[in-house]
Amino acid sequence: MKDALLAARGLAVQVGTVTVCRGLELALAPGQCWALLGRNGAGKTTLLHTLAGLRPARAGDIRLAGRPLEALPRREAARRLGLLPQAFDDPFPGTVLEAALSGRHPHLGLWEWEGAEDVARARQALARVGLAGFEGRDVRTLSGGERRRLGLATVLVQDPAVLLLDEPASHLDPRHRHRVLELVGALCREDNRAALVSLHEPELAWRHCTHALVLLGNGETAAGPREQVLTDEVLTRCYDYPVRRLEASGEVWFREG
């Protein structure tokens, strides 16, 4: 865990009567893109929020860039770690560009306004998620998929080394789903970032991620390189339903039932 951008040691997370994980050892290193898989209600969102410092762990230690997460000022932590939440609430009017620019707030002083470089970063991020030309749109007029992509763009504008993404592919059509996940993988590989991405489909995890963390229930987990973790046994335990990994001619897919 020495070189990890984000690390958890002996982590225990509880939500209500659900034990999300117990004794979890996790290290997100530069260049790694991790999938987070688990059945509905397993606690994927709760775990992401705990790793982001938004809720306390029951036990264990979380370190961001080698330093205890709870000891870091929130602004400094936000420069290093970005969270894409599962849902957004936009009750007030605002443009897509203004929403994306909010990702620069951790980098600005108390009374400092966004400058030309910040606006350029926001426009570039919007283009990378396929929202070029949407800058003047009211965020309340966006579709669910467009709002997901705007959320990811805002995290990109934040420019963190660690990305915690809660279902970034939800509400997206196949083209945008793969485009978004390819972008996340490229950010990890090319910029030495690390990501933990909550997903529902093992196929997406295999295609776009290097590692996987699977919540098995009752606090048990499986974590490691995707080839070792995304197995018939682990996935069948995870979903309490038969899942088989099939391979032929260099292709991998998963069959249910």
pLDDT confidence bin for 110, thresholds 50/70/90 = confident
Of 22-26, 114-118, 128-132, the least confident: 114-118
Residue type, 89: D
| Full residue range of the structural domain in which residue 133 is found | 6-256
Position 109 scores a pLDDT of 72
Q: Do the domain assignments include residue 116? A: yes
Q: Rounded mean pLDDT of 230-248? A: 95
Q: Do the domain assignments include residue 1? A: no
Q: Do the domain assignments include residue 19? A: yes
pLDDT, one tens digit per residue, over 30-41 is 999 999 999 999
pLDDT, one tens digit per residue, over 123-148 is 999 999 999 999 999 999 999 999 99
Q: Do the domain assignments include residue 171? A: yes
Q: Do the domain assignments include residue 72? A: yes
CATH assignment at residue 76: 3.40.50.300
Q: Do the domain assignments include residue 16? A: yes
Is the four-CA dihedral 44, 49, 52, 56 of positive or negative sign? negative
pLDDT, one tens digit per residue, over 206-227 is 999 999 999 999 999 999 999 9
Tokens representing 175 are: 């083209």
Residue type, 189: R
Q: Do the domain assignments include residue 203? A: yes
pLDDT, one tens digit per residue, over 27-86 is 999 999 999 999 999 999 999 999 999 999 999 999 999 999 999 999 999 999 999 998
Number of domains, the chain: 1
- Taking residue 126's Cβ as centre, other Cβ atoms within 10 Å add up to 24
Instruction: Note if the pTM is more than 0.85.
Output: yes
> 115, exposed or middle or buried, with CB in 10 Å at 0-12, 13-18, 19+?
exposed
